[in-house]
Amino acid sequence: MPPSPSAQSTSPFKREDVRVQKLDYIRRAASDLFNKKGFDATSLDEVAEKIGISKPSIYYYYKNKSELLLGCYIRTLDLCDDLLAETHQIEGSALDKICHFTRQLIFLNCAQGAIAVVSEIDALPSEAIGPLRARSRDLTKRLKRLIADGVADGSLRPDLSDVTTLFIMGAVNWTPRWYREDGPMTPTAIADAYISFLVQGVAAEADQSPGR
């Protein structure tokens, strides 16, 4: 649907497609660097160099650095929303769903540039902060609900604290900091190890509450 009233429009799609691809290309490079070095520590010259274009080209696609970060974060939240929706389709207990979600999120974090860890919200354009926080909160709320479901269906321990999600997300969000494609661990191995840890803990036997 090209509502543009202007002239020549024999190939109405390709142009837009290329544009979207380029937007994506830049966003991925930026996400990867933002994850690894942080937003402020990453210069747009670096982003440009990583993909072999010049800095002004970035400005042709994004209004400024903050908008680029916003693009990264929106994409991340979109993917998380999708993932959570997909998760609800899973047959099985709430625990199974949590495991699925966690595993896929680890994969996303390891696929460099797929998503950016949403952690530097203050660097966003000020009018975007509120809505983004709202989306983040909503996501957190749905994760907490998933945990409550698990307690209800008996697949999770009944005494789980609300901070459980924070711990899980913390560990997952930390992966981009150390994961390297050429490192010794595959994403699958990482996910396996993490989920096994998540489900069973580290102790050899189930019950042996340690003192302080």
Partner DNA sequence: AGGAAATTTGACTTTCAAGTCAAAACCGCG
Partner DNA sequence: CGCGGTTTTGACTTGAAAGTCAAATTTCCT
Residues in contact with DNA by the rule CB under 7 A: 6-8, 10-11, 14-15, 18-19, 22, 42-45, 53-57, 59-61, 63-66
Q: Is 138 in the site for a second copy (CB under 8 A)?
A: no
For residue 33, the minimal CB distance to DNA (Å) is 10
Which of the listed partners (a second copy, DNA, none) does 8 bind, with a CB threshold of 5 to 8 Å by partner kind?
DNA
Contacts for 184-189: CB closer than 8 Å, 24+ residues apart: 187/106, 187/107, 187/110, 187/111
Q: Is 126 in the site for a second copy (CB under 8 A)?
A: no
The interface with a second copy within residues 43-72 (CB under 8 A) comprises none
User: How big is the chain, counted in residues?
Assistant: 212
Among 67, 81, 96, 149, binds a second copy (CB under 8 A): 96
In terms of Cβ atoms closer than 10 Å to its own Cβ (0-12, 13-18, 19+), residue 137 is exposed
Residue 61 or 107: the one with the smaller Cβ distance to DNA is 61
Q: How far is the CB of 102 from DNA (least distance, A)?
A: 33
- Number of Cβ atoms within 10 Å of the Cβ of 129: 14
**From 38, 51, 74, 114, residue interacting with a second copy (rule: CB under 8 A):** 38
Q: Which does 136 bind (CB under 5 to 8 A by kind): a second copy, DNA, none?
A: none
Q: Of 3 and 211, which has the nearer Cβ to DNA? A: 3
Under a CB-based contact definition with an 8 Å cutoff, are residues 105 and 83 in contact? Answer: yes
User: Which range of residues in 9-17, 23-31, 125-133, 204-212 is near a second copy by CB under 8 A?
Assistant: 204-212
Q: Which stretch binds a second copy (CB under 8 A): 20-28, 55-63, 71-79, 153-161?
A: 153-161
- Long-range pairs for 21-27: beta carbons < 8 A, 24 or more residues apart: 22/61, 23/61, 23/62, 23/71, 25/51, 26/51, 26/53, 26/58, 26/61, 26/62, 26/68, 27/68, 27/71, 27/72, 27/75, 27/113
Residues 6+ apart with CB under 8 A from 109: 35, 115, 117, 172, 173, 175, 176, 179
Minimum CB separation of residue 68 from DNA in Å reads: 8
Rg (CA), the chain: 20
Positions touching a second copy (CB under 8 A) are 37-41, 92, 95-96, 98-100, 103, 119-120, 122-123, 150, 154-161, 163-164, 166-175, 177-178, 185, 189-190, 192-212
